[in-house]
Structure 1
């Protein structure tokens, strides 16, 4: 589509915003290259995460905070909301804008002079040429079951990462080197810092779950994002009233809630925020509760601290299932759209079901049976999890943050 056609389709406001973005990126770029004249600060680290102060990057940062690395090192956090991030009052920590289309001279200065850049979602250096002394580590955010579509396009990237973090030197490394479209030599098997939360009791998360669920069994349901108000964000699923697998209507939700109440089980459903806007989820249920990233953040709880305190997981093709293996707790896989999904999106391996150690559920009756067995503390798939676990996880010790820092030669 040529520029005239784009203007006709999107309007003059789009044209103005596009031009301004280009100008701002160019200004940030100029400042960055000027700041390259300043010596590298060997004690400066930049962090980035999707969702401010979260995921693998924040878990690593929090480890540094708790083990007295800060003070010796200066941290720069790239965030979406500067005002809100500053309210945390973290010591020896400054904040800059996360995106390159916002004019931020300090951001360019820190990018040019930091020894380390650690990220798990967005590469702030993609349009810049890094300095030889700098080290960029991509912690990433999960290894999944879904097929890889051509890998990441690196055509216009001036600076890729130096290393990417992997959970194992088996499937995890194989998957990520293809997904990230890079040499396997860039892979370092250190484990994800966020998985360290699985090996530590978090009283705040435990109290929060107790407040939600009382003394009932807690099942966490984290489905792949499906139906949406915005079709561009949806996977290719058949529309349903709920946008969920297995329970398609408000009547199904009511029936499920009644069953959960009878079995003294609380189902905590974490959905995409757009899906949560559907009318069916605006109703209050006794034994089905909904949580969001915002609620967890407001209660000072990281997602994986919350996940660690649940009794079982319900999901489909999400990478959360692979992470959950470390907890050695039951997993229920909802696969009612498996054949359609295989034809449309596809899976990473042909034998993908063999890498899903848990219940394989295709209809509502099977779903209820699985919930019944799990709530009765039956664990029928323990041996299968034990076989699959080492393919995805080399370490099961809660020391990933320490390994990452040792790899980077960051010392107290």
Structure 2
């Protein structure tokens, strides 16, 4: 398929405006941004570094960057440091004092200025390396570790000082995925800020989605198969409803009937990178579907939501391993595992799946029934993997990161 055919096919599927937005962001803006950075190198390479913390996260104010930001505000660091967000979405109104933001993708002198003068920068997804000596750049990642291989898909710039990893056990495995030598001086085991919520009390985000009381609430977080920006297709499987296991509307009706009969709610959280044109599953009486847009509209954070639910269904996504901190039942859907193109981190991935293994709808409903009945047969296995994958279980990831950066109140 030539360039013109690709363009017309995508326009017919996604619409002209969306296709042009992706082209501008991935092609045009990138070249213009490089020109601005060249100008910035002349203007600000020798300027005094400022007490500014530049933060980027997966979908703004979420994941590790969002959790670290919440900690900085709670502890009053914004009294001393200016905090600048690199945003994918519109800048929120009424940000706290000394906090601002600008568009991550749109080239501008303002963006270039902060890139060259901020002393600290952290990133979760759009990886920021330091522009000059004296800056400290940290890659926090937007998930802990999934079972899917990502070698050759994530490229880390040399200009990073710190790469968070969850444990000494996983450090060499992740180094290989990042094409880093091991051992190295960049990987650091500090704990992940986004896991602090599991240990620090406070309300979760379920209240933002419903005011009803259910016997059990299960969160389903499938990883993405087909990327929203056309750049990745990780699975060859064609999913009728855009999610695993459920084959058609009748399957949804059967599942919803079971949930309703047992006063249970299933929340389906679509991955923010998933192409939403492939997602056909819809809200029903006991099924609630969330995507990147609706979570922003409702102010819902994945980890604050995980805190409130009774169980998680995922697959080879990092979400299943983040949820180990909740110490609640997990199921792994593997019906399309053979169609996954990138392979897995471990030779025997089942050895690292401490939960129900699900290949079909009957097993899917069987897991939910066990949750409703209070059965948790994989508890000890789950805790063993949690201790292997995570060095810390204490809710102080943000504090340790602030100490590493040398921040002072």
Shared topology, TM-score over 0.5?
Answer: yes
Match of 1:192 in 2: 192
How far is the alpha carbon of 1:23 from its aligned partner?
4.1
Structure 1 contact 56–194 (Cα < 8 Å) conserved: yes
How far is the alpha carbon of 1:36 from its aligned partner?
1.4
How far is the alpha carbon of 1:10 from its aligned partner?
6.4
Counterpart Cα distance in 2 of 1:78 and 1:220? 29
How far is the alpha carbon of 1:350 from its aligned partner?
0.9
What do residues 314-348 of structure 1 show as CA deviations (whole Å, max 9, x unaligned)? Answer: 0111100111111100001111223343xx32111
Structure 1 contact 148–178 (Cα < 8 Å) conserved: no
Q: RMSD of the alignment, in Å? A: 2.8
Match of 2:116 in 1: 112
Structure 2 contact 270–292 (Cα < 8 Å) conserved: no
Match of 1:293 in 2: 292
Tell me if 1:140 matches 2:115.
Answer: no
- Using the size of structure 1 for normalisation, the TM-score is 0.86
Work out which of the residue numbers 162, 176, 179 in structure 2 matches 1:178. Answer: 176
| Structure with max Cα Rg | 1
SS of alignment partner, residue 203 of structure 1: coil
Match of 2:151 in 1: 149
Q: Would the alpha carbon gap of residues 234 and 93 (structure 1) be closer, same or farther in structure 2, given more than 3 Å must change? A: same
Counterpart Cα distance in 2 of 1:397 and 1:20? 41
Number of corresponding residues: 391
Q: Unaligned stretches of 5+ in structure 2?
A: 9-19
Tell me if 1:207 matches 2:213.
Answer: no
How far is the alpha carbon of 1:229 from its aligned partner?
8.8
Work out which of the residue numbers 353, 364, 373 in structure 2 matches 1:356. Answer: 353
How far is the alpha carbon of 1:245 from its aligned partner?
2.0
How far is the alpha carbon of 1:306 from its aligned partner?
1.0
How far is the alpha carbon of 1:228 from its aligned partner?
8.0
What do residues 350-392 of structure 1 show as CA deviations (whole Å, max 9, x unaligned)? Answer: 1211100000112222222221111111110001011111121
Q: Unaligned stretches of 5+ in structure 1?
A: none
Counterpart Cα distance in 2 of 1:371 and 1:144? 22
Work out which of the residue numbers 35, 45, 69 in structure 1 matches 2:77. Answer: 69
Match of 2:14 in 1: none
Work out which of the residue numbers 10, 33, 38 in structure 2 matches 1:29. Answer: 38
Counterpart Cα distance in 2 of 1:377 and 1:209? 24
- Using the size of structure 2 for normalisation, the TM-score is 0.87
Counterpart Cα distance in 2 of 1:123 and 1:369? 41
What do residues 152-183 of structure 1 show as CA deviations (whole Å, max 9, x unaligned)? Answer: 446xx5x5311101111112x22322222224
Q: Would the alpha carbon gap of residues 205 and 230 (structure 1) be closer, same or farther in structure 2, given more than 3 Å must change? A: closer
User: Which residues of 2 match residues 32-111 of structure 1 at below 5 A?
Assistant: 32-41=41-50, 43-81=51-89, 84-99=90-105, 102-111=106-115
Counterpart Cα distance in 1 of 2:319 and 2:228? 24
Counterpart Cα distance in 2 of 1:194 and 1:261? 32
SS of alignment partner, residue 374 of structure 1: helix
